[in-house]
Structure 1
C-alpha cells in the first residue's frame, strides 16, 4: 500500500540568526565553517544534503548533516550529539594535520575525527549524505557513514560495528535508550537499554528465531537500505517501503519512541510519510514509559500514565517512569491494600508464576512476600498468578484478559482508575467539532504516526502451539510441492489454515448448491468439511494471477487474525479455480438485521459499530501489511451467534488484478452508495475510502434505513447523505431508528452520528482514521445516559 502517515520526527524550530550565509561544495585543509553573524555551510553537489551548524533553542548548536529540502530540516547525523556548543563563536576547522575539529566559543575541543594524516586534502558532502575526508586521489580516509546517529541512509552499510541509537526526545539530540544493532547471535535487534533493564523487543521475543523469519547462521552481519526502498540483512530480514521505487529520498530512523521506521520525502511539500515500520503496536516497545508506568492503548504515539499512588518522575521524558508518592518502606508492613487495574500488566520480573490458584491465594502470596510490589491475576481456563518484584514494561489494553493488583499503603484509598479515559476525552457533543474540523491523529496526510492495539497475550498463548503447527506445515508443503519461495510465508499461518483441493470443496458444498450471497468478486456457498466444520466457500471471479503470486497474497491474508475479521480457514488453487474457505457465521450479514423486520437493539448496534471500527483499524494500522478493504458495506459485515461483527472480504483487493502500484487502483471498485468521491475523481486510493464506507454504514445503522431510501425520507431526489451532513445540528431525536421506540443511549447516538458525519465528508483529508474512530467510540462504550 502506498505510503501513508506524514510525520516529522524532529519537530524542531530551525533557527539561524544570520541574515546571510555562505554555501560551498568543498572544505579545504585549513578552512573553517563558522556560526555567528555569517553562517557557513557545506552542501552536496545535488543540494539534497547540507552540512553545517544546526541550532535549537536560543544558544545550543550542533555540527550536523540534514535534508536540505525537508520542511523541518531533518537531521540525519551530528558530530557532537551529547555535547552542544555555543551558537556564537563556535567553528569547525579542517586542520592542516588532517583532523576535522569542532571547537566551542572558548576554544575547547568538543569533537574531532580520528584522522591525523597529512594526506587529507579536503572534506566533501556526497550526494548520499555521507561526509567524507579524502586525499588527492579521492580515497576516503574518514566518513560519517561509519558512525551513524539514529538514521541510516540509502547505500549506507550497516555492519556489526554499527548502531542506531534514538534521540532522547523530540527536542534533544542526546543519546536515547532505544537501539538497533546486530546482537552476538548475528540477528538484527531492537533493544531498550534503560537504566533499569536491557530488554530485546524486536523480533518478537515470544517466538523462536525461524518463526520470526530470521536466522543466526551467518557471520557477515551486514545490512543495507538501497535506493529503491528495499532493506536487506544477512539474518534474512527483508522488507520494503510501501512506495518502493527510484527517485525518492528516504531514511531509516530509530525513533525516540522505540520504533524503527522508513520515511519517504514528498519533494513538493517537504513533508515525510511513514512507508514502513517495525512495530504496529506502540506499547510493544519495552520500557517506553519507564519504571512503574503504563503504556496505554491510545492513538498515535504511546500514551504513558502513572498508576494511583505514583507520580511522573519527569513529564518531559517518560522513559524515566513514575515514582511512588509515599514512603516505599510502608509496603513491607501488613497495613497495605491492593488496587485493581483491569486489562493491565507489567511484563516480566515475576518472582513466581503459579496456575490453579484463587485470587485470594494469589493476594496472600504477594502480601507475605516483602519483595512483592504487585501481582497479576488472570482467568484463562484456570486462575494464573504472577507475583511481581518490579513494575516495569507496563501496558494496558482493553482486550487483555487480566488485571494487575498494585500494593499500596492503606493510608492511600484511591478508587479504581479508568485508565483508558486518562485523557479526559468524553463522548457526545463536545467531540463533534474535533472530529469534523481537525486532521486525525492517524491521518494518512496528517502529521503524526499511528497507534494501535496490543494482542501480545494471545500471541504468547499461541507460541507453543505454533511450534507444532510449523513442523506439520513443513511436511505438508513438501508433500504438495509448494514453491520454496513462498514456504516461509506459510510458516506463520494459523493452525487450521490449509490448502484444499477443488474436489474437496465441491463435495463439501454439495456441488455449490446452497448459495449464501453474491457480490462483485464472486459467489459464496455454504459447506460442511470432512471434520464437520461448517464453512462459507467463496468462488472468486476471474483471477488471472500466477499460482506463486496467488500463494504470496494468500499467505499475507492468512496471517491476518483479529476478533472482528472473518477467519480464513484455507484456500484452493487448481488450474483457473481460486476459492477461499471462511468460517461460517450463524447470523449472516448485517443488512439482514438492520433493514429487515428482525432488527438489532441499540446496544447491539453500538457494539457492531465499535467492533467494525476495530477490525478496520487493525487492517489499516496493525496487520502485517496495510490492507485497504475497498468495499465496506453491511453485506460485508457478518454477525456471529452473539451478534458480534466480523468483516468479510477484507483481502480481496489484494487478490484481484491491480493495474496500478502501491495503493493506487485504476479500476473502480466498491458498491454504489458506499464509494468515496475519490473513486470518481481518479484520485489515489488510500484507506480513507474505507472510512467513507464505514461512515455510511454507521449512519444507516443509526437510522435503520437504506441509503437508497434516504432521498425519499429527506424529500429530495438525491444527495441525501450530503444533505444530512449539512443539516444535522446535534439532535438525535427523530434521527435514530423509530422502531427502537426511544430505547437508545442519547450520548452514544450523538457519538455515532458525529463519527458517521465526520467519515463521509468529501475532503478525505478531513475524515478521521479508523484508529481515531475507535478511540472516540470507546469513550462512550460504557457510558450510561
Structure 2
C-alpha cells in the first residue's frame, strides 16, 4: 500500500513540476510592460522578460527588438502604433548577441547604459557621475525623446542628456514640429536633420540593402542579392531587406568574386587587422567563410595599411557618404548567418512541453474518456506540426539544389574575359573560365531570371517596346520602382549571340552621359537578356521622322542632340581607355531620356582597339543600309572615320527630318545625302532644314551644320574630320570650315554607286555579294 502511495506522490510531484515549467515558459514569452514612462535605478528593462517603457500618452515605446533575420538585438525607441518605424537606436554600431540577455538600465553612477549578460557595455550616455544627494531619472516622452534629468537637493531640475541630441536619433524635425517645443542640452543646441534624407533612418533598406538618398529609388540590394519581399519593395517598404541570389561556394575560391562600391558606410561592426596590400586583405576575407565584405585603406604618410573585415550580417549600409570606405562585397559566398527566433520554434517547444506534461499528468490517473481524447489531439497536433516543418525543409532544400545546379550551368555557359585586345573580345565563351574571380574581369551584375520575369510581367505583349533583327525589347520595373528595358536576344540569331557577348564586355567599361547604361545581364538555358536603363522618349527616329512628333524637336533641341551624339562618339574614339568603333551609328540607335538628351546604344557590332591602332578590316561586312561608309561596304575596312561618315548621315537626317534610305524628292535625288549635296552646289543649303520649323531656326548655324555633315561623308576617309574637330566646331560659333568635296557615293535604289557613273556596274556586283543588311531595333528604353 505504501508502495502505491509513494508512486502516487511521485506522480503528483512530476505533475506540479511540469505544470510550473509550462506556465513559466509561457509567461516569459509574453511581452511585459512596466506600465510607466520613467526608468529608475531599481527598475531596469530586461530583454529576457520582454520588458518595455511606454510614454504616458501611449505613443512611444522603449525596448528591445530584432532587426530582420540577423539575430542581432538592439535597444531603441519606436512608435507604439507603427513598430516598424524605429526612431532611435542605442547600440546601432554594437549589436547585442541573440540570447535576449540585454539589460537597459540606469546605472549606479547615474548614466543610462546597455549591457549584456557577460557584463560588456554596448552603449552608455557617458555624462558626469551623479552626486551622492542627487536623484536621477530617465523619462520617455510621447515625442519619442528619452530624457535623462537630475533633481538636486534643492529641487532644481537639470537636463543632462536626451536622445534627440544623440547622433542615432532619426527624423526628429517632424516630431519637434508636432510637439511644438524646444529642448536644450548641456552639450549644446540640437541640429535638426534634413527630413528628406530617408537614409538617416536606422537600416532604412533592411539587411543587405543599400540606401542612397541622392537616387530616385533610394534603396537597392547589394551585388549578389535580391529583395526578400519583392511585392513590399514595389510599394516602397524596404524593411525586410535582401537575400542572396546564389548559394555558398566554400572551398571554391574561383567561384567567389567581389564587387566594389565607393563611399560606403556600414552600420555593422567590423574587424580591423593590419595588412600590407589590397591582395592580402582580400585573401584574408577569402579565408574567412563568414566574411561578407572588406575594405583596404593605405596611409601614405606612414606607409602602413589597414584591412577592415565585415563578418556579420550587413545592415544600415549607406552609399554616397563623403568619408565612407571603398568596400568590396562578396557576391558568391557562404551564408552561415544567425537567424532571429521565430514563432515556429516557440510553438514547437511549447507544444512539446505541453504534450510531455499532459502525458505525465495522465500517467498518475486513469486517463479514460476525456483524457484519452486530449492526448489524441495533442499527439496529432504535434505530428502535423512535425510533418509540415519537414515538408517545408524538404522543399526548401530541393529548391536550393536546383538554384545551385542552375547557377553552375550558367557559370559553365558563360566565360567572359577581360577585354585587352581586338582578338580577345571575339573569343567564344569557354567553359570554366568565368572571369568573376579575376580582379581585372568585367563587373557586370548577373541578375536573377525570376526577378526579370516578374519585372516584365513574364514578357507580356503589353510590355513589349519593339522588335528587331536581334530580338525583342520589353519594358520592366524592378522592385523598388526603377524602370528598365530588357533586350531579349533571339536564340536562333548568331548575330544576337555575338552582340550579347560584345555588349556585356564593352558597355560595362564605358561610362559617359551620352552612352546608354547597361544595368546587368542574365542567361538561362537558351535565354540571353541584357538589362538597360529605360529611356522614356524612345529613340531619335521615333521623333524626327514623324510629321507630328517632330514638332517637339525645336531647332535648339536638335542642335543639343547633335552635340550630345558628337560628345558620345568623341568619348568612344579618344577619351575612353579603349578605342571603340561603333559601326552601327544611326537614328534608331540614339535613345532620348526625359530631357531629350541623346544616349548612344546598341554596341553589338562595335570593335575595340588599344594603343595607337584605330582601324581594322573584316571579310564579313555587317551594317545598316544607308549608314555605312564606302570603304567599309566595299572593302571591309573600318576605322573611326567610318563612324564619322555615319555621324554625317545622322546629322543630315536630324536637320532635314527625312530618313536617308526612304527619302524621294526627285528622280535625281532619291536620298537625303544626294539632295543635300545638290542644294549645297546650288547655294540653297538652308532649304534642307525641316519645313515644320517654319523659319524658327538660325540660318547661319544650319548652313554650318550642313557643311560639317558633308565634310563627314567625303570619299577619302583622311578628308573627313575627327570627332574632336567636330565637337570643337559645334562649340565654336566662329569656326571656319573648308569646302566639302563630293560625297563618296550615293545610294540609288537597292544598290550603291559612286558619283562616277562609269564605275557603277563594276561596283554593284561587289556590293551585293559582300553586304549583309541588319534591321534596326525600333524601341524605347
Q: TM-score, normalised by structure 1?
A: 0.37
Comparing both structures, which one devotes a greater share of its residues to helix?
Answer: 2
- Greater strand share, 1 or 2? 1
TM (norm. structure 2) is: 0.37
RCO (CA 8 Å, sep 6+): is it higher in 1 or 2? 1
